Protein backbone atom coordinates (compact mmCIF):
# COMPACT_ATOMS: atom_id res chain seq x y z
CA UNK A 1 0.00 0.00 0.00
CA UNK A 2 1.37 3.37 -0.93
CA UNK A 3 0.49 6.56 0.78
CA UNK A 4 0.69 9.85 -0.96
CA UNK A 5 0.86 13.05 0.94
CA UNK A 6 -1.14 15.93 -0.41
CA UNK A 7 0.96 19.01 -0.76
CA UNK A 8 -0.68 22.37 -0.35
CA UNK A 9 -0.88 23.89 -3.83
CA UNK A 10 0.30 27.43 -4.42
CA UNK A 11 -2.18 30.28 -4.76
CA UNK A 12 -1.71 30.35 -8.54
CA UNK A 13 -3.02 26.77 -8.72
CA UNK A 14 -6.36 27.99 -7.34
CA UNK A 15 -6.39 31.03 -9.61
CA UNK A 16 -5.73 28.91 -12.72
CA UNK A 17 -8.30 26.31 -11.64
CA UNK A 18 -11.05 28.89 -11.02
CA UNK A 19 -10.31 30.75 -14.27
CA UNK A 20 -10.32 27.43 -16.15
CA UNK A 21 -13.69 26.55 -14.62
CA UNK A 22 -15.12 29.93 -15.64
CA UNK A 23 -13.72 29.44 -19.17
CA UNK A 24 -15.30 26.00 -19.42
CA UNK A 25 -18.62 27.26 -18.06
CA UNK A 26 -18.67 29.74 -20.96
CA UNK A 27 -18.28 26.69 -23.22
CA UNK A 28 -21.16 24.97 -21.43
CA UNK A 29 -23.32 28.05 -22.03
CA UNK A 30 -22.34 28.03 -25.72
CA UNK A 31 -23.34 24.38 -25.93
CA UNK A 32 -26.70 24.98 -24.23
CA UNK A 33 -27.29 27.96 -26.51
CA UNK A 34 -26.60 25.84 -29.58
CA UNK A 35 -28.41 22.70 -28.45
CA UNK A 36 -31.55 24.60 -27.49
CA UNK A 37 -31.47 27.30 -30.15
CA UNK A 38 -34.88 28.84 -30.76
CA UNK A 39 -36.45 29.08 -34.18
CA UNK A 40 -36.21 32.88 -33.96
CA UNK A 41 -32.44 32.78 -33.47
CA UNK A 42 -32.09 30.24 -36.26
CA UNK A 43 -34.19 32.40 -38.58
CA UNK A 44 -31.97 35.43 -37.89
CA UNK A 45 -28.88 33.57 -39.17
CA UNK A 46 -27.57 33.71 -42.69
CA UNK A 47 -28.62 30.84 -44.97
CA UNK A 48 -25.12 29.30 -44.77
CA UNK A 49 -25.01 29.42 -40.95
CA UNK A 50 -28.53 28.03 -40.64
CA UNK A 51 -27.64 25.20 -42.99
CA UNK A 52 -24.62 24.31 -40.86
CA UNK A 53 -26.72 24.04 -37.70
CA UNK A 54 -29.57 22.18 -39.34
CA UNK A 55 -27.32 19.66 -41.09
CA UNK A 56 -24.86 19.01 -38.29
CA UNK A 57 -24.76 15.29 -37.39
CA UNK A 58 -25.80 14.26 -33.88
CA UNK A 59 -22.32 12.87 -33.20
CA UNK A 60 -20.84 16.37 -33.61
CA UNK A 61 -23.28 17.77 -31.07
CA UNK A 62 -22.34 14.85 -28.82
CA UNK A 63 -18.64 15.60 -29.27
CA UNK A 64 -19.32 19.25 -28.40
CA UNK A 65 -21.17 18.15 -25.24
CA UNK A 66 -18.34 15.82 -24.21
CA UNK A 67 -15.80 18.59 -24.79
CA UNK A 68 -17.52 21.28 -22.72
CA UNK A 69 -19.03 19.17 -19.94
CA UNK A 70 -15.77 17.21 -19.66
CA UNK A 71 -13.78 20.42 -19.40
CA UNK A 72 -16.05 21.78 -16.67
CA UNK A 73 -15.97 18.48 -14.77
CA UNK A 74 -12.18 18.32 -15.07
CA UNK A 75 -11.94 21.79 -13.53
CA UNK A 76 -14.20 20.74 -10.67
CA UNK A 77 -11.89 17.76 -10.08
CA UNK A 78 -8.96 20.18 -9.98
CA UNK A 79 -10.73 22.32 -7.40
CA UNK A 80 -11.49 19.31 -5.19
CA UNK A 81 -7.92 18.13 -5.80
CA UNK A 82 -8.64 14.81 -7.48
CA UNK A 83 -6.40 13.24 -10.10
CA UNK A 84 -9.48 12.31 -12.12
CA UNK A 85 -9.02 15.76 -13.64
CA UNK A 86 -6.43 14.50 -16.12
CA UNK A 87 -8.37 11.62 -17.73
CA UNK A 88 -11.50 13.77 -17.86
CA UNK A 89 -9.52 16.55 -19.61
CA UNK A 90 -8.19 13.96 -22.07
CA UNK A 91 -11.74 12.81 -22.84
CA UNK A 92 -12.76 16.45 -23.24
CA UNK A 93 -9.91 16.98 -25.71
CA UNK A 94 -11.03 13.93 -27.71
CA UNK A 95 -14.52 15.44 -27.92
CA UNK A 96 -13.05 18.75 -29.05
CA UNK A 97 -10.92 17.05 -31.70
CA UNK A 98 -14.01 15.26 -33.01
CA UNK A 99 -15.91 18.51 -33.27
CA UNK A 100 -12.99 20.35 -34.89
CA UNK A 101 -12.41 17.50 -37.34
CA UNK A 102 -15.97 17.78 -38.53
CA UNK A 103 -15.94 21.59 -38.67
CA UNK A 104 -12.66 21.90 -40.54
CA UNK A 105 -12.44 18.76 -42.67
CA UNK A 106 -15.81 17.05 -43.04
CA UNK A 107 -18.20 19.94 -43.54
CA UNK A 108 -18.33 23.26 -45.31
CA UNK A 109 -18.21 25.15 -42.01
CA UNK A 110 -14.81 26.64 -42.76
CA UNK A 111 -16.37 28.58 -45.64
CA UNK A 112 -18.73 30.38 -43.25
CA UNK A 113 -16.24 30.88 -40.43
CA UNK A 114 -14.87 34.33 -39.80
CA UNK A 115 -11.33 34.94 -38.58
CA UNK A 116 -12.54 35.22 -35.00
CA UNK A 117 -14.08 31.73 -35.21
CA UNK A 118 -10.80 30.22 -36.39
CA UNK A 119 -8.79 32.06 -33.73
CA UNK A 120 -11.25 30.95 -31.05
CA UNK A 121 -11.00 27.31 -32.20
CA UNK A 122 -7.21 27.43 -31.95
CA UNK A 123 -7.39 29.11 -28.55
CA UNK A 124 -9.81 26.47 -27.25
CA UNK A 125 -7.52 23.70 -28.48
CA UNK A 126 -4.46 25.29 -26.82
CA UNK A 127 -6.28 25.77 -23.51
CA UNK A 128 -7.56 22.19 -23.62
CA UNK A 129 -4.02 20.87 -24.05
CA UNK A 130 -2.72 23.27 -21.40
CA UNK A 131 -5.26 21.95 -18.89
CA UNK A 132 -4.03 18.39 -19.47
CA UNK A 133 -0.45 19.56 -18.90
CA UNK A 134 -1.54 21.55 -15.83
CA UNK A 135 -3.32 18.55 -14.33
CA UNK A 136 -0.29 16.39 -15.08
CA UNK A 137 1.97 18.86 -13.25
CA UNK A 138 -0.52 19.02 -10.39
CA UNK A 139 -0.38 15.23 -10.06
CA UNK A 140 3.43 15.17 -10.17
CA UNK A 141 3.61 17.86 -7.46
CA UNK A 142 0.99 15.98 -5.37
CA UNK A 143 -1.34 19.00 -5.44
CA UNK A 144 -4.06 16.63 -6.55
CA UNK A 145 -4.22 12.96 -5.59
Torsion, CA 53, CA 55, CA 59, CA 62, rounded to 10: 20
What's the pLDDT tens digit per position in 16-59? 999 999 999 999 999 999 989 888 888 888 888 888 888 899 99
Domain boundaries, the chain: 19-140
Residue 81 Rama label (left phi>0; alpha psi -120 to 50; beta): left
Q: Residue 103 gets which letter from DSSP?
A: I
Question: What's the confidence (pLDDT) of residue 43?
Answer: 86
H helix intervals, the chain: 11-35, 39-44, 47-55, 58-79, 85-101, 109-112, 115-140
Residue 2 has pLDDT above 80, yes or no: no
Can you give the pTM of this predicted structure?
0.91
Amino acid sequence: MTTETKVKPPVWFWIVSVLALLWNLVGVMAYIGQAYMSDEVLAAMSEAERSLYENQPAWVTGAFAIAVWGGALGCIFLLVRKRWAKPVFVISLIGLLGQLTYNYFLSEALETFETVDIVMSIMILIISIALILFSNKSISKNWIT
